[in-house]
Amino acid sequence: MPPKSPRLVELDFFRGLVLLVIVVDHIGGSILSRFTLHAYALCDAAEVFVFLGGFATATAYCSLADRHTEAIARQRFLHRALELYRAFLVTAVLMLVVTAALTALHVDAPNLATTDLDDLLDTPAPVLGDLLLFRRQPYLASVLPMYALFALSVPAILPLARSKPWRLLAGSVALWAVAPAIEGMLPLADGAQWDFNPCAWQLMFVLGVLARCQPVYERVNMHRLGWLATAIAVCVVATGAYYKLFIETTPLDGSFKQNLSWLRLSNFIAIAWLAAHLVRVGWAKALAQRLPWIAHVGRQGLLCFVAGTVISLVVDSLLFKATNGYLDVPLGLVADAVAIGALIAVAKAAAPISRAFAPRFGNSSN
């Protein structure tokens, strides 16, 4: 039997960290969310999540292809697309069930999926059809449809990333450039939308794949002018932070995120470049070893994402009712602690089950 490929502890750590950040970022009265990435940058945890998804996908695909065959790797990711589709349906149902339960308890919060729930009660068959076809994506479930599409594209993307990276990058950038113009071709129910345009966000996923398959960082960093790339990254990050903190303190237009604007993209690339330095010098690994509970969350990525949506919605709604929508520091900190503790508990409880029922060729939880 081929030796089991070692996990990248830094990858698990960053994935766990971003899942925890996503949970608190979707709690309106969270105190910790005042200090997460979106408060200091033009991008947020979504870019990190998708980029790391591409990186993890390439890691799993390359491992399977090297230890077995390309055919087995392709088969695994076609199966992965089905897993993500099921996860979307489960998440969508959970959003509706939680909304119904909180509504029955007279909890009225702004992020409840009341419109989708009302439509479901009025016309159940069409709404269920919309869910099955991605035409309707209840609150917090919207990232999973594009992830399922990305998994379907892996058998075409990964061989190009390994053999013809520039061709893959050029095609990805071209699709990203025209994404806003073809957004209307996505399946949509009346009054619904894709919070993440997959034609745009595929570029972030592809960048993660390329970062794993091609030693771009190493080559640039070893060049005699490599310091210039780092200097530019520092300037971009500093400029983005200044703009966010002192110029545009209100949230940017939703289309900037929906279609992955170049401002968000460039700010993220600069941050990722600096984060790569932390990995190179060993700081990320040291943090991962000191905070193993964060890596536990990262290793149960899909499950923790689904659980996190429920945790965020419940905690956000109860906190909103308790504070009438006003910021309350003590209650906000309690909400943060409850949300983070709940997600860590899910990850720890799921770990032994995941090991027992791991896929035949290893747990490639991209």
In a domain, 2, yes or no: no
Contacts of 195 (CB under 8 A, 6+ apart): 137, 142, 143, 257, 258
Per-residue model confidence as pLDDT tens digits over 273-310: 999 999 999 999 999 999 999 999 999 999 999 999 99
* 365, pLDDT greater than 80: no
DSSP 69: -
Percent of the chain's residues with pLDDT above 70: 94
Give residue 3's pLDDT band: very low, low, confident or very high (50, 70, 90).
very low
Structural domain that includes position 268: 9-356
The predicted pLDDT at position 366 comes to: 54
* 107, pLDDT greater than 90: yes
Question: Could you tell me if 267 and 238 are in contact, meaning their C-beta atoms sit under 8 angstroms apart?
Answer: no
Q: Domain tally for the chain?
A: 1
In a domain, 362, yes or no: no
Other residues' Cβ atoms within 10 Å of the Cβ of residue 223: 11
In a domain, 352, yes or no: yes
Tell me, what amino acid is at 176?
W
Mean pLDDT of the chain: 92
Question: Could you tell me if 332 and 31 are in contact, meaning their C-beta atoms sit under 8 angstroms apart?
Answer: yes
What CA dihedral angle connects 263, 264, 269 and 271, to 10 degrees? 110
* 6, pLDDT greater than 90: no
Structure-token match 């209100």, residue found: 250
* 89, pLDDT greater than 60: yes
3 state DSSP class of 365: coil
The predicted pLDDT at position 336 comes to: 98
In a domain, 1, yes or no: no
Average pLDDT score over residue span 357-366: 46
Question: Could you tell me if 346 and 283 are in contact, meaning their C-beta atoms sit under 8 angstroms apart?
Answer: no
Contacts of 246 (CB under 8 A, 6+ apart): none
Q: State the sign of the Cα–Cα–Cα–Cα dihedral 122, 198, 247, 35.
A: positive
Displacement of CA 143 from its chain's centroid (Å): 7
- How would you class 58 by CB atoms within 10 Å of its CB: exposed for 0-12, middle for 13-18, buried for 19 or more? buried
The predicted pLDDT at position 355 comes to: 57
In a domain, 323, yes or no: yes
Average pLDDT score over residue span 322-351: 95
The predicted pLDDT at position 354 comes to: 59
In a domain, 69, yes or no: yes
Minimal CA–CA distance to 157: which of 219, 216, 220, 73? 73
In a domain, 101, yes or no: yes
- Please provide the size of the chain in residues: 366
Average pLDDT score over residue span 331-339: 98
The predicted pLDDT at position 1 comes to: 34
- How would you class 328 by CB atoms within 10 Å of its CB: exposed for 0-12, middle for 13-18, buried for 19 or more? middle
Of residues 138 and 6, more confidence is placed in 138
Token pair recorded at residue 5? 């490929």
Of residues 358 and 23, more confidence is placed in 23
Side-chain-side CA neighbours of 141 within 13 Å: the count stands at: 27
Q: Is 134 left (phi over 0), alpha (psi -120 to 50) or beta?
A: left
In a domain, 308, yes or no: yes
Q: Cite the beta strand spans of 138-262 per DSSP E.
A: none
